[in-house]
Structure 1
Amino acid sequence: MKLRRDFPRGKTPAEALADVQSDAIATFTSTGTWPSTFAKDAAKAHADALVWESEAAALYELERATKANAEDLRDSLSVDVLEHLDGRLSEILDAAKDAGETLGDVTTAEQAIEAGGDVLDAWRRLTSLLKDYRNVRDASWDVLRAVSGMDERSSMQQWRNEGYGEIKDVRMDDVPAHIRDVMRSRAYTIEYLVWLARSGSAFVPTSYDDLEFSVTASTEPVAYDDFGPIRDLSPVVLPEREYKPLNTRRDPRPFVD
């Protein structure tokens, strides 16, 4: 906090009084005379230090309260911030998908320069979008770390190093190996950005729980039925049975033996 940083250094009342006492003792030792202004000097030094200490304590409390309020505000708005970043990610990838269609099979800057025209413009556009993509990713991880506990941050770092947090609803085993390598290294490329845009699976986790759910969904084994195709074991709902009233009317004709 600038106010506290700019506040001049000072002494506590005890330190200020001790300095006056030391000076008086040094004077007496060297001259044999006790300073006649000692009491006045000691009182002034103590009073001035007390004023300094009071303001220093107030500024310290102001800094503490400001940080606490900022952290509370950050925590309460973190979901909104992450949702905004997710929306920004969608905008980036929509633009990347359009540019990727123009790019066609071009995968290098040299090929784009050689092609020229719209292809070169698309490559330049993707280069700019790639920078925006990195910024969104870095910002989202910064927010997630800031609002998470130590154990959660440790798990998030491990997941991030393994490539999670980039896509959802897709099993990692189904992602091409070279794309997984980019996810793990975070050395993002235009080819990766175009693949991500076409996949439609990119997202920004809005919380630790959201990220954890995505990791679990990407790693859970597929369920197999040893006896054949997977069967629907949900309860069968039968239609309501219609009941007809019994015919209780007696035959008016006499009984004939």
Structure 2
Amino acid sequence: MRANTNPELTAAWATVPDVAKAQERHEEAAKLRRAFPRGKSPAEALAALQAEAVVTFTDTGKWPTDYAKRVAKAHADALAWESEALALRNLEHATKAAAEDLRDSLSPDVLEHLDGRLTEILDAAKSAGEALGGVATAEQAIEAGGDVLDAWRRLTSLLKDYRNVRAAQWDVLNAVSLSDDQSRMRTWRAQGHGEVKDVRMADVPPYILDVLRSGAYDVEFLVWVAQGGAGYVPTSYDDLEIHVTAATEPVAYDDHGPLVDLSPRVLPPREPRPAKTYTHSSTPHLDASQPTPAPPKANAIHPDREPSTADYF
């Protein structure tokens, strides 16, 4: 792994020595490729000899008698050089892929180690925080002296370890995540996610939320996390995403959506419209054995129809 000054990150990766070994192999392969001398490809070597023979003939009028022998040797040497150069390039790519695959597959072990370290730090901070007795500043701790001052000094030392664990956590998560996931994690981290679980962000005190978002950890924040018991280290990107969702979405859902009033609408009764009887209307004659009924009394006039071409031609 690359050099770093974070002791927590170094100790975490040391729990999976296979990753460091694979990284060393990749670095050795890269050094071999860079140290390999520059040479010519077979095509370049042949082109150089051809150009040289042409110049010789142009200057002397004689074609080199050893041309074929020189061409065979140059081609063989160039082919050997090109083969080794390609092999070293493939070696570098293969060792890099192997180191990355091993790092990705073993990163949960590293993050679990960091989670264990965080638990140790918070357990110690919880007992030290109980000894403060409400003291919130270094001046108050100095004034109180005794056990309170010792507890403050202890918390100050633990605060440095806490910062290193959090920095190591994000370093590992970024190292094993794709660029899109890294972008989302930066957004989540800026919103305060990734350090406490089972707590909705709306329920976090404003001052604590500001510290989570900025990363400006202090003793008061460390005591709050230790006493709350919600501190954790995500073991993967998926684990982080689960806790982010739980911390931001509502606790309960209405699967049916908003209530809809489905009761029938009561409409006013429609006024009956009297039937229209025209001058050409007739009363149905249902019984042929009876006299023809008189035509009904007209109460409407039929409008004139639209004129058609038959009216004009």
Q: Same fold by TM (over 0.5)?
A: yes
- Show the counterpart of 2:258: none
Give the Cα separation in 2 of the matches to 1:207 and 1:4.
34
Question: How much does 1:28 deviate?
Answer: 4.2
Deviation string, structure 1 residues 133-167 (Cα, Å, up to 9, x no partner):
22222222233233334433332221111111110
Of 121, 132, 140, the residue aligned with 1:92 is 121
Helix, strand or coil at the partner of 2:77? helix
2:54 and 2:217 map into 1 onto residues whose CA distance is 71
Compared CA separation, residues 135 and 35, structure 1 to 2 (3 A): farther
Q: Which stretch of structure 1 is more off in the superposition, 118-127 or 9-18?
A: 118-127
User: TM-score when scaled to structure 2?
Assistant: 0.62
> Aligned-pair distance for 1:62?
2.0
Q: Give the superposed CA RMSD.
A: 2.8
Structure 2 equivalent of residue 220 of structure 1: 249
Task: Give, in whole Å, the separation in 2 of the partners of 1:75 and 1:138.
Answer: 18
Cα deviation, 1:189-221, whole Å, max 9, x if unaligned, reads 232222211111011111222212211111122
User: In the alignment, what sits opposite 2:34?
Assistant: 5
Distance 2:185 2:234 in 1: 11
Unaligned 5+ runs, structure 1: 226-257
How far residue 90 of structure 1 moved from its aligned partner, in angstroms, is: 0.6
Query: Out of 130, 139, 150, which is 2:168 matched to?
Result: 139
Pairing partner for 1:47 from 76, 79, 98: 76
Give secondary structure in 2 for the equivalent of 1:205: coil
More helix per residue: 1
> 205, 213, 222: which is aligned to 1:176?
205
Q: How many residues align?
A: 225
Instruction: Give yes or no for the alignment of 1:208 onto 2:246.
Output: no
TM-score calculated relative to the size of structure 1: 0.74
Instruction: Give deviations 1:98-152, integer Å, cap 9, x for gaps.
Output: 3333444444445555555554544443333223222222222233233334433
Structure possessing the higher radius of gyration over alpha carbons: 2
Percent of paired sites with the same residue? 73
* 1:165 aligned to which of 169, 194, 202: 194
Q: Cα–Cα, structure 1 residues 12 and 187, in superposed 2: closer, same or farther, change >3 Å?
A: farther
